[in-house]
Amino acid sequence: MHRQMGLLRELQALDHYIDHLRQQVAQLDSGERIRASIERTRQRLEEVKTRYQEIYAIATQQEQRLKDLDERIRRTEAELYSGRITNPRELQLMQHEIEQAKRARDEMEAELLRVWEHLETTKHDIDAAERDLNELERYYEAHMEDFRQRKAALEAEISYHLHERAELVAQIDPEVVQRYERLRERLGGTAVAIVEQKACSVCHTTLTPYTLKRLQTEDALIACESCGRLLYDPELAQ
C-alpha cells in the first residue's frame, strides 16, 4: 500500500498542477471589458451623429428662412423704389418694415453662424469618436489574438498532463482511485496529506501513536483522524 500511496501523492501533485492551469485559463482576460468599451464608444458615436443630423436640419431650416427673408426685403425695396407708391404714410411704413426685416436678418445670420459653429464642433466630436472606436477595435483584435494564443498553449499543456494522469491512474487500484476522487471532491482538492513530524501536513493535527503504528504495520489506506485525508509517510517508502 505504501507504493499505492506514493502514486496517489504523485497523482495529487499532478491534479493540483492541472487545477492551477485550469485556473489560469479561467483568469485569462477574454476582452469583455474592451468589448464593453467598444459598445459604449459605438453608442456615443451614434448619439453624436444623431445630434449632428438634428443640428444640420436646424441650420438648413434657418438658411431657408434667411433666404425667404432676403427675398421679402428685395421685393419690398423694389416696390418702395418703383415710384408706384406716392403716399408718404405708406412709404414710411414700407421703410420701417424693411428696417425691421434687416434687423431680423442680422439676428438670424448671427444665430445661423452659431449653429454652424455648433455643427463644426459636433463634426469634430464625430471624428474623435470614430478615432476612439477604431483604436479600441484594433486593440481588441490584438488582445484577442494574444488571448487565443495563451489559451491554446494552456489547453495544450492541460491535455498533455491529462494524458499523463491517465497513465498514472492506470497504475493505481481502482477502489483506491475512487476513494481518492471522493475525498478530493469533498476536501477542496486535497485528498492526501503527508506525515510531517508525526502530524498531518494539511490540518496540522498531531497523529496518535495508534495511527502512526497502523501506517507502519497495516497494508491499508490510513486516514487522518481529524480531517479524514489519506496519510502518506515518505519515510516508509524508503
pTM of the model: 0.74
Q: Average pLDDT per run of 10 along the chain, which is 238 residues long?
A: 89 97 97 97 97 97 95 91 87 92 95 96 97 98 98 98 97 96 96 96 96 92 96 84
pLDDT at residue 45, as a whole number: 97
**Helix %, strand %, coil % for the chain, to 5?**
75, 5, 20
Residue that has been written with the C-alpha cell 492526501 in this structure: 192
pLDDT at residue 46, as a whole number: 98
Tell me the C-alpha distance between 2 and 156, whole Å.
Answer: 33
In the chain the domains, ranked by start, together with CATH numbers, are 2-24+173-237 (1.10.287.1490), 31-169 (1.10.287.1490)
Distances from the Cα of 225 to the Cαs of 37, 211, 222, 234, in angstroms? 54, 8, 9, 19
Q: What spatial distance separates the first Cα and last Cα of the chain, rounded to whole Å?
A: 13
pLDDT at residue 226, as a whole number: 96
pLDDT at residue 12, as a whole number: 97
Cβ proximity of 133 and 35 under 8 Å: no
Residues 87, 92, 94, CA angle at the centre, nearest 5°?
Answer: 95
Tell me the C-alpha distance between 32 and 11, whole Å.
Answer: 35
**Strands of 230-232's sheet in order across:** 199-200, 192-196, 230-232
**At residue 31, what is the residue type?**
G
Tell me the C-alpha distance between 148 and 159, whole Å.
Answer: 16
